[in-house]
Amino acid sequence: MEAVAIAQPSILTTNVLVLNKLFMAVRIVSVRRALILLFKQTAEVVSVEEGRYDCYDFSSWAEVSQYKRVFEPAEHDWIRTVRFDLAAPRIIRLLTYSQMGRGNIRFNRRNIFARDRSHCQYCGKKFHTSGLSIDHVIPRSRGGKSTWNNVVCCCLKCNVRKGGRLPKEAGLKLIRRPQKPKFNPVITVGASKQKYSSWKQFLDAAYWNVELRE
């Protein structure tokens, strides 16, 4: 089935969870990329319905979308085409790929903020990212390393209070010990949103890692 998408750019850049053919999460792609894979018939849509999941190729997903457009219009993002409206997929499955995503989680500011859920690890308050900094629990001036186990989110006030001291010396206490996540923390935060709740059953950290789309 041919279709010319005229969706808003913001919809085409939203996230889609990608599973391998064994239904294991491997990465995140944009809706635009997911549609390309569906058009090429190298992937299918996975729709989670009341605890079960059904799979659809592009044509059958287009048909199901017509039902959802009538009965579930508010539960989906919509892609308008010349001939019909298509529900933006939230999960797709690759039909031939069975490998796992890379297990290494990138050590960067975004993943640190996501691991700590944008909460200062000293006062416990949540802040916008502009109000947070990265703190070395053991200061670098004392030999502290830039590792998962030695960096935490810290609000500006606590950061100034701590300075180049150990937390105890500054009268501060960590609310939890920092450690390397077992799987990508950004995906966990994303899955906590109602919009992506269907991802949760595929993100068991004990079995696989998810690579974040850059």
Q: Each residue of 139-189: pLDDT tens digit? A: 999 999 999 999 999 999 999 999 999 999 999 999 999 998 876 665 555
Instruction: Please give the single-letter amino acid code of residue 56.
Output: Y
Q: How far is CA 205 from the centre of its chain?
A: 13
If one counts the domains in the chain, the total is: 2
Distance of CA 6 to the CA centre of its chain: 25
The answer to the question of residue 77 being in a domain is: yes
Predicted local confidence at residue 131, as pLDDT? 92
| Residue 177 belongs to some domain of the structure | no
- The distance in angstroms from the start CA to the end CA of the chain is 30
Pair 116, 96 in one domain: no
Q: Residue 67: enclosing H or E segment and its boundaries?
A: helix 58-71
Note whether residue 63 is domain-resident. yes
69 and 140 share one domain: no
Same domain, 18 and 86: yes
Full residue range of the structural domain in which residue 69 is found: 9-102+184-202
Mean pLDDT, to the nearest integer, of 108-130? 90
Bridge partners, residue 126, by sequence: 119
pLDDT at 214: 32
Same domain, 32 and 93: yes
Phi, psi of 204 (to 5 degrees): -70, 115
Q: Are residues 154 and 77 in the same domain?
A: no
- 128, 38: one domain: no
Tokens of 67: 């039902």
Amino acid 34 reads: A
Q: CATH number of the domain at 115, please.
A: 1.10.30.50
Burial degree of 196 (CB within 10 A; 0-12, 13-18, 19+)? buried
- Examine residue 159 and state whether it is found in any structural domain, yes or no: yes
Write down the pLDDT at residue 190. 54
